[in-house]
Amino acid sequence: MIEGILIGLETAFSIKNLMMVMIGCFAGTIIGMLPGLGPMTAIALMIPITYGFEPSTGLILMAGVYYGAVFGGSTSSILINAPGIPGTVATSFDGYPMAQQGKAGKALAVAAYSSFAGGTIAAIFLLIAAPSLSKVSLAFRSPDYFGLMILGLTAVSAFSAKGHFLKAMMMVVLGLMLASVGQDTLSDIPRFTFQNMNLSDGISFVLVVMATFAMSEALTIIFKANDPTRVAKQISLSQLGSIKLDKEETKKMVATIPRSSVLGFIIGVLPGAGSTIASFLAYGMERNFVNDEEKQKFGKGSVNGLAAPETANNAACSGSFVPLLTLGIPGSGTTAVMLGALLGFGIQPGPRLYQTNPEIFWSVIMSMYIGMVILLILNLPLIPYIARVLATPRTFLIPLILFFSVTGIYLMSFNNFDIYMMIGIAVIATILRLYDFPMPPLILAFVLGGLMEENLRRSLLISDGSWSFLWDRPLTLIIMATIVLIVSWQIYKSFIKKNS
């Protein structure tokens, strides 16, 4: 492990990679700060640029963007009560009241220190957990992988769209259907290409991500006639107050951070749960831990109430890398985008990544520490200036997002057909979003589609066409039982509980 850490440090500390972490954190902060645009959009916009890079450099850049976007999301939550991402909704419960009391600088400092601490502590957990889990996951076979993928998709559907489980499952199927377009990987037989040469290689992952996130988010803002920057124009973004914390506030944070980090990391590792659930659970847990006097302050500007979700959502980000790096199965939409990018680099994450590409495995983990430090020292003093991004008029913002999206796909294919298909998918995604059909399950399914078919193929061929592989091995049986449990719980919650 020490050798791996040294390899990781060497790669992560190269001038080029340090630059990439800085650029990633900075760009992620700015994009994540803009309400409506989250880490998935931020990473999606970066993918075309990273294709010329080495895989480790590309992944380091995207990890920086991820952390930066989460941090940026909390800034807009605190300053204008408009969370950039769902994971920072809980941040606004106490962050925004603090800002209204003239303590915006303090609230941003609490968020920055908590994010730093949560991310760093969770990165240590990742350092310990990932190699161990990699070794364990070598025992996984095709039926287990197939089961894990269904578990991931079911869990994401259950958690990402509260009360819309069936809609999420339809999006899963649609994602898998889109992934099935093109030549079959084993037999090279064309499927759903309708004799169109442009479809024979399948639909590009970047195209689907850009269309369903960057482009459709931009179109949704216009379609719903939202102006997310309107509130920002009404407040002073340059006079945010002191960022210094007193002894009492520091003491409160010190108590909150360790427990929220542990909770955030564990939730992050679980498929589908992610930073949103982690931050809400941490907020609820913290409320139970504090004394009655502090409890009264929750929702009115409590330091504990702000530190807990901020710590947990960053810890969950680190935790979400565990299934991606060790099993090759992303547990969230954002890590699904990262998996797609890795596959684009020709790298298959999974238990063997630890052995075959140690520089990627370790440099990503090491770059997380560097990213955290950069976020703290770069963003905190610069926040009053960066916050002005919030006031960027949508009249400029939206065309620029559309331009980056079209450029991204144009650079990859130099093909009109792909641009038209991207516009078509974006329009459909905009309508689907309007009626609460969630997009993260679609992306996760699209990324996992090929792997899922491959593992199902192997499992069915080994078991001679029998579906008994789903319960033959205890591990597969446990996974399948968990899936049944999640689906039953969703049915109970949606229909039976409501009717009773």
Partner 1 sequence: MKISPSKIISLLFFIFSGFYLYTAHQIQVFTFDENAAFNAKTFPIYLGYAGLIFSALYVLLPETRPSNVDLTVLDYKKTIMLVILMILYGLTILRVGYFLSTSIFLVLSYIVLGERKWVWIFILSFPFVAIFMYLLHGLLNIYLRDPFLQYIGIMG
Cβ distance to partner 1 smaller for residue 99 or 447? 447
User: Taking the CA atoms of the chain, what radius of gyration do you get in angstroms?
Assistant: 22
Structure tokens at 217: 């988010």
Q: How far is the CB of 482 from partner 1 (least distance, A)?
A: 19
Q: How far is CA 129 from CA 118, 135, 233, 298, 358, in A?
A: 16, 10, 45, 34, 15
Please, what is the minimum distance in Å from the beta carbon of residue 412 to partner 1? Answer: 10
Q: Shortest approach of partner 1 to residue 125 CB, angstroms?
A: 35
Q: Which is nearer to partner 1, 191 or 300 (CB)?
A: 191
- Least Å distance, CB 478 to partner 1, is 23
Give least dist CB 43 to partner 1, A. Answer: 18
Residue placing its CB nearer to partner 1 in the complex, 167 or 297: 167
Which residues here bind partner 1, judged by CB under 8 A? 49, 52, 162-164, 166-167, 169-170, 173-174, 176-177, 180, 184, 186-187, 189, 191-192, 219, 222-225, 393-396, 398-400, 402-403, 406-407, 410-411, 414, 416, 419-420, 423, 427, 430-432, 434-437, 452-453, 456-457, 460-461, 463-465, 494-495, 498
* CB 302 to partner 1: min, Å: 31
User: Of the two residues 165 and 321, which places its CB atom closer to partner 1 in the complex?
Assistant: 165
SS (H, E, C) the chain: CHHHHHHHHHHHCCHHHHHHHHHHHHHHHHHHHCCCCCHHHHHHHHHHHHCCCCHHHHHHHHHHHHHHHHHHHHHHHHHHCCCCCHHHHHHHHHHHHHHHCCCHHHHHHHHHHHHHHHHHHHHHHHHHHHHHHHHHHCCCCHHHHHHHHHHHHHHHHHHHCCCCHHHHHHHHHHHHHHHCCEECCCCCCEECCCCCHHHCCCCCHHHHHHHHHHHHHHHHHHHCCCCCCHHHHHCCCCCCCCCCCCHHHHHHHHHHHHHHHHHHHHHHHCCCCHHHHHHHHHHHHHHHHCCHHHHHHCCCCCHHHHHHHHHHHHHHHHHCHHHHHHHCCCCCHHHHHHHHHHHHCCCCCCCCHHHHCHHHHHHHHHHHHHHHHHHHHHHHHHHHHHHHHHHCCHHHHHHHHHHHHHHHHHHHHCCHHHHHHHHHHHHHHHHHHHCCCCCHHHHHHHHHHHHHHHHHHHHHHHCCCCCCHHHHCHHHHHHHHHHHHHHHHHHHHHHHHHHC
Q: Please, which residue, 102 or 424, has the CB nearer to partner 1?
A: 424
Taking the complex as a whole, the smallest distance from the CB of residue 344 to partner 1 amounts, in Å, to: 15
Q: Which of 254, 491 has the CB closer to partner 1?
A: 491
> Minimum distance from CB of 353 to partner 1 (Å)?
25
For the bound state, the minimum distance from the C-beta of residue 119 to partner 1, rounded and expressed in Å, comes to 29
By beta-carbon proximity to partner 1, the closer residue of 245 and 398 is 398
Nearer to partner 1, 297 or 493 (CB): 493
Instruction: Report in angstroms how near the CB of residue 19 gets to partner 1 at its nearest.
Output: 13
Indicate the pairing of strand 190-191 with strand 182-183. Answer: antiparallel
